[in-house]
Amino acid sequence: MTDPAIAAHGLRKSYGDKVVLDGIDLAAGEGTVFSLLGPNGAGKTTAVKILSTLISPDPASGEIRVGGHDLATTPQAVRAAIGVTGQFSAVDGLITGEENMLLMADLHHLPKREGRRVAAELLERFDLTEAAKKPASTYSGGMKRRLDIAMTLVGSPRIIFLDEPTTGLDPRSRHTMWQIIRELVSDGVTVFLTTQYLEEADELADRIAVLSDGRIAAEGTAEELKRLIPGGHVRLRFTDPAAYHSAASALPEATRNDEALALQIPSDGSQRELRSLLDRLDTAGIEADELTVHTPDLDDVFFALTGSTNVPAQPNQPNQPKETAR
Amino acid sequence: MSTLALAVRDSSTMLRRNLLHARRYPSLTLNLLLTPVMLLLLFVYIFGDVMSTGIGGTDRSDYIAYIVPGILMMTIGSTVIGTAVSVATDMNEGIIARFRTMAIHRGSVLIGHVLGSVLQCVMSVLLVGAVALAIGFRSTHATALDWIAAFGLLTLFALALTWIAVGMGLASPNAEAAANSAQPLILLPLISSAFIPADTMPGWFQPIAEYQPFTPAIETLRGLLLGTETGHNGWLALAWCLGLTALGYLWSAATFNSDPK
């Protein structure tokens, strides 16, 4: 087996007493999308900053290799292999989009003509040709993000770090960004993606690691992660406490939420199971005010794994009761 | 590519970037020129006759000759405030993080700022020098060699203050803080021999005025342009320039190379 594009062992980082990354292992195969998924403050950005040589890991960390190069001993070789698009746009707002691109071409030591060609091509590809002569500070959020990625691509990096590339983008820009990421991967580029959107990881990632409080709570494909928690459920909501209580006694297997007057009944959402549930409600003469069918998705994994500090990531455990599905 | 070739190439790219900024947004640099020019006009046209008597001259033209070397040095102090501000602003931009993750010469970001700042100082000195010429300043004494030495001194002083300003910019969390911490660079000339001779100041204060970086530089420039006695000031000025350059460089490099916040 060839070296994975990114391999980190026991990655640690703390600021004073505050432990941000508590010894995490990461491995991203070449030409795949690896997604680090986690809520705000989980340590995603810190992980990207370390892997992209921006900050140094704690000395207690294990070996970290990016693009086959040791991060600690040959950071310049790592830098030559990677491209980074951070959470906050890394464009020079004072100069135009085109000047930003030519700046990158110069820093990658491309010959003048080739630099201009690459810049023009990428501006075209990211739909920025029209805005090329305007200062980057006048760009919209989506345009800045596209310029940011275009600048990252000038050096044709084999490994690209994207730190929350769609945070703050409107739905259309987000889909454009997803398309861009898919194209990158089809060219054989390895993408290390951080996101707080489960949908995004589900949509793009080959492997997902769920980061919570500086630890990897779970890792696997989207399918594997979904399998970590049991099937979906049906949620019944009542406005009348009396109806709620009689329903609760008619359905003893349900998980109760007395405050919300809601019941959760485990169910795979199939027509047969739904009918049998409805029959039981009819027999008991109960009418719920709201019935929703909930199939398991990464949200469930996410909440189950990141909900409390030490949720055991064991399959086939009863689902954690929760307030909202989405 | 050898390390040196890489350093030259990347630094010149960074210099071009900084000059592009300066050219596109000249207001910061021009605003900073206002202080030395206003002080020059104020001291010559409003206070000139009294000041002239004070230095034993006959009319305000004697005082023009006295004040211009100080004003030129002050121009450098004023220009590098802009450097501290632009370095601090730059460090808060995402693009610096991008530079740090690229396989470019590590110091090129700072070298680009330093070269840009020195060039701006030279431009500013030329502009203020032109104003001085326009209101009647004439070098009575300088030979070609003196002019070259004067230019060299101004450049070296600009380099020294620039490195200090870059350090201040790097150590400041934002542009406002950088502007504040760089204030002394424009206040120091006020307590130097720029406006009145140091030996006319209160006795306890004279050592401060005489040995701070501006006075030796100003006295040396006066000697070169007007043929006044410089004494040990030439060496003192050189020592200050080299010392401040080394200090500013080490400070800046240490700050820049530590992990960003």
pLDDT along chain A (326 residues), means of 10: 83 92 93 91 91 92 94 94 86 94 96 96 93 94 91 94 88 89 93 90 92 89 77 84 88 86 82 87 87 76 62 39 38
Q: Inter-chain contact B97–A91, Cβ cutoff 8 Å?
A: no
Task: Kindly provide the ipTM of the predicted complex, given to two decimals.
Answer: 0.87
What domain range includes position B245? Answer: 3-257
Please tell me the predicted confidence (pLDDT) of residue A307.
63
CATH 3.30.70 placement within chain A: 233-295
Residue of B nearest to A46 (CA): B261
Please tell me the predicted confidence (pLDDT) of residue B207.
92
d(CA A42, CA A236): 33
Q: Inter-chain contact A80–B17, Cβ cutoff 8 Å?
A: no
Q: Across A1-15, B36-50, B146-160, which has the greatest mean pLDDT?
A: B146-160
Please report, rounded to a whole number, the percentage of residues in chain B having pLDDT higher than 90: 77
Which CATH number among 2.60.40, 3.90.550, 2.20.25, 3.30.70 corresponds to the domain A233-295? 3.30.70
Instruction: Say if residues A194 and A162 touch (Cβ distance below 8 Å).
Output: yes
> What pTM, to 2 d.p., does this model score?
0.82
Among A109, A159, A167, the strongest candidate for a mutation testing the B interface, having the largest count of B CBs within 10 A, is A109
User: Helix or strand or coil: residue A282?
Assistant: helix
Q: Inter-chain contact B97–A90, Cβ cutoff 8 Å?
A: yes
Task: Calculate mean pLDDT across residues B161-183.
Answer: 95
Q: Inter-chain contact B13–A107, Cβ cutoff 8 Å?
A: yes
Q: Is the pLDDT of residue B119 over 80?
A: yes
Q: Which residues contact residue B71 at a Cβ distance below 8 angstroms, ignoring those fewer than 6 apart?
A: B36, B39, B40, B128, B132, B194
Residue of B nearest to A58 (CA): B259
Length, in residues, of chain A: 326
CATH 3.40.50.300 placement within chain A: 6-91+139-227
Please tell me the predicted confidence (pLDDT) of residue B56.
83
User: Does domain A6-91+139-227 bear CATH number 3.40.50.300?
Assistant: yes
Instruction: Say if residues B2 and B10 touch (Cβ distance below 8 Å).
Output: no
Among B8, B12, B98, B104, the strongest candidate for a mutation testing the A interface, having the largest count of A CBs within 10 A, is B98
Please tell me the predicted confidence (pLDDT) of residue B102.
94
What sign does the CA torsion over B85, B88, B89, B90 have?
positive
Number of domains making up chain B: 1
Q: Inter-chain contact A95–B21, Cβ cutoff 8 Å?
A: yes
Instruction: Say if residues A251 and A263 touch (Cβ distance below 8 Å).
Output: yes
Please tell me the predicted confidence (pLDDT) of residue B261.
61
